[in-house]
Amino acid sequence: MILSLRFLAQVLVRCGRFILAAAGLLLCGLPDLAAADFAVEWGVTATRQRPDSWNEIELDAVVRNTAGQTWRVPGYWAGGTSWRFRFPAEVADTYEFRTECSDPADSGLHGQTGRFVVAPRRSKQNPLLAHGSIRLSDDRRHFVHADGTPFFWLADQWWFAMSSRLRYPEDFNLLVRDRVAKGFSVIGFAIAFPCDIAPFDPRGSNEAGDAWTPGFGTINPAYFDLTDQRVQALADAGLVPSIVGAWGYYLPAMGLEKMKRHWRYIVARYGAYPVSWTVAGESTLPFYDLRNGTPAYAAAKKMQVEGWSEVTRYLRTIDPFKRPLTVHPGPNSGDMRPIADMSQLDFIFLQPGHADWETLGPALTHQATARQQFPGQLSLMGEVNFEGMHGGGSGPKIQRFLFWSTVLSGAPGFSYGTDTTWQFNTRERPFGPSPHGMAWGNFPWEDGYRWPGSTQVGLGRKILSDVEWWRLEPHPEWVTPAATPKDFMKPFCAGIPSRLRILYLPKGMPRWGAPFRLQALEAGVRYTARFVDPITGKSEAPVEVTPDAKGSWELPYPPVFQDWILILQATGS
């Protein structure tokens, strides 16, 4: 709807619909009813047309609830003389707003007032409506919903999902339904400027063109109108949209101030949704025409580390809803400094690489280093070993290993991906070469989304849903021998003292080898143990745990020579 000059409107959000009332004033048009599930939206109209509205002025709405809490909500330019605002439809209350424009002489934008009433829609089928958006837990060790319900981060990374490489709605919704059924909870994607292309390469555009006009002139609202549909579809399915603002190397091409404007637009359009922010993808990666080891490469990397840190601080100041914030490191997360000021991040993303079995040790090393350098900080894999990468490598066994080894080493989730769905190869349109001149792979996504790794990491989340996974702590000292980054095929162990122990046995326990042993089983605590197949999710019959006088127990042999999960639960817990 468009707000007329100095009018007072009331907006009620009930059962997913806007109900509108105005004090004797004409309301021009109706809002997008679907958006009412997550965001209240209203608009104002400038008194004059500007040559470059988005870059010439800034517009905020100061929103206040009945308790006096305030939010400064950035508005977004919708084209022409139209500006709009979005506010989360999550907490029931009556809200009042007043607009503030950097051009106070524009009476259509400055000093507009109104009020709206939020009565949130609730849905047991959609966790984002049942429990609210996500945030960090109070102890900052895992994610929770707004109401405190634990949230397990299981992401699928679709970097080009906002482009026309994935047809909307038919193919997009097919993939959404598949990922929901398998147990995913997050979808990561880049808005406007994804990886492995030069700026304004048509592979990054959608049906309305590029997100910015040529040469990074100004925002193209039509691009974002189509992106709205895709973001809404993810949220409607209960999937958290994890938004990457741009790949790292766009910063020197776009410039610091334009990148801040870009992020301001993203926050204005999507901050009211239950999203997570990734300020940049591979923040330390210069463009591909610079060779690593040269002075030019080093200078570009330094500029990006410092520049993205400034963009992150800016994003912190303009996001009124404080959505979880991270940065995607790379091309390798080993130095642990993807931006200059790591204190700005809510959680740590890791990206150890895509080198099949060779990456497993570094993945564990990077995770251990992150826990050591950022104690008490949540860290998890943001990108690692996409299934099918490097000519069909990183198959389902590697996906199971990465999921279970990192979760039992302290990560409250995992990020999966395939070589087909990050770039959306199609049978008719392979992605083609990256700027370095080589294609990563040409398998079509129509096949890749069915690869078994996606099912098996989804089963991992479902297996953990039966236990208090959010209370797990790594306890390698509980099992002998225990895995290390250099000897990673040994068992991994995590648990809750006197309640729960979970082990991952990457190659089972061969009968011709010495049996593994659990240590330090608590006196007076009775456990039952059951093997769970990480390939199928099927549980074997439980057995009683009978430790010796020292609290040590020899693990039974699993029934099949493969990797296994072993879950010990205290009787009655």
Verify that 342 and 410 share a domain, yes or no: yes
- Strand, helix or coil for residue 84: strand
Verify that 271 and 378 share a domain, yes or no: yes
Q: Above pLDDT 70, what percent of the chain?
A: 94
pLDDT for the residue numbered 7:
31
Mean predicted confidence (pLDDT) in 542-548:
97
pLDDT in tens, 165-222: 999 999 999 999 999 999 999 999 999 999 999 999 999 999 999 999 999 999 999 9
Which of 16-30, 324-338, 530-544 has the weakest average pLDDT? 16-30
Mean predicted confidence (pLDDT) in 123-143:
96
- What does the alpha-carbon distance between residue 120 and residue 89 come to, in Å, rounded to a whole number? 6
pLDDT band for position 510 (50/70/90)?
Answer: confident
436, pLDDT greater than 50: yes
Verify that 240 and 385 share a domain, yes or no: yes
The CATH number assigned to the domain holding 9 equals 2.60.40.10
Verify that 452 and 489 share a domain, yes or no: no
- For 313, the token pair is 């601080």
Number of alpha helices (DSSP H) and beta strands (DSSP E) in the chain: 12, 30
- Strand, helix or coil for residue 387: strand
Residue 132 lies in a domain: no
15, pLDDT greater than 60: no
Mean predicted confidence (pLDDT) in 95-100:
98
13, pLDDT greater than 60: no
- Strand, helix or coil for residue 362: helix
Phi, psi dihedrals of residue 271, rounded to the nearest 5°: -65, -25
The better pLDDT of the pair 335, 505 is held by 505
Residue 135 lies in a domain: no
pLDDT for the residue numbered 513:
85
17, pLDDT greater than 60: no
Phi, psi dihedrals of residue 54, rounded to the nearest 5°: -65, -40
pLDDT in tens, 22-57: 222 223 333 332 335 899 999 999 999 999 999 999
Neighbouring-strand partners of residue 570:
527
- What does the alpha-carbon distance between residue 126 and residue 482 come to, in Å, rounded to a whole number? 39
pLDDT band for position 16 (50/70/90)?
Answer: very low
Q: Are strands 500-505 and 9-14 parallel, antiparallel or unpaired?
A: unpaired
pLDDT in tens, 381-424: 999 999 999 889 999 999 999 999 999 999 999 999 999 999 99
pLDDT in tens, 468-502: 999 999 999 999 999 999 999 999 999 999 999 99
Q: Are strands 70-74 and 59-64 parallel, antiparallel or unpaired?
A: antiparallel
| Domain closes at, from 74, 98, 118 | 118
pLDDT for the residue numbered 390:
85
Verify that 561 and 535 share a domain, yes or no: yes
**DSSP H/E element including 567:** strand 564-570
Verify that 175 and 259 share a domain, yes or no: yes
- What does the alpha-carbon distance between residue 328 and residue 417 come to, in Å, rounded to a whole number? 14
Q: What residue numbers bound the domain in which 524 lies? A: 474-570
Residue 131 lies in a domain: no
- Residue located via tokens 């009968």: 511
Residue 247 lies in a domain: yes
Tell me, rounded to whole angstroms, the distance of Cα 403 from its chain centroid: 16
- For 344, the token pair is 């700005």
- What does the alpha-carbon distance between residue 370 and residue 349 come to, in Å, rounded to a whole number? 9
pLDDT in tens, 326-375: 999 988 898 899 999 999 999 999 999 999 999 999 999 999 999 999 99
- What does the alpha-carbon distance between residue 230 and residue 34 come to, in Å, rounded to a whole number? 12
The better pLDDT of the pair 2, 225 is held by 225
How much is the mean pLDDT over the chain?
Answer: 92
| Domain closes at, from 97, 118, 139 | 118
Q: Above pLDDT 90, what percent of the chain?
A: 89
Verify that 108 and 167 share a domain, yes or no: no
**How many independent structural domains does the chain possess?**
3
Mean predicted confidence (pLDDT) in 152-173:
98
Verify that 68 and 101 share a domain, yes or no: yes
Residue 228 lies in a domain: yes
pLDDT for the residue numbered 573:
60
Q: Using CA atoms in the order 389, 395, 401, 404, what is the torsion angle rounded to 10 degrees?
A: 90
Verify that 85 and 181 share a domain, yes or no: no
12, pLDDT greater than 80: no
pLDDT for the residue numbered 36:
53
pLDDT for the residue numbered 330:
86
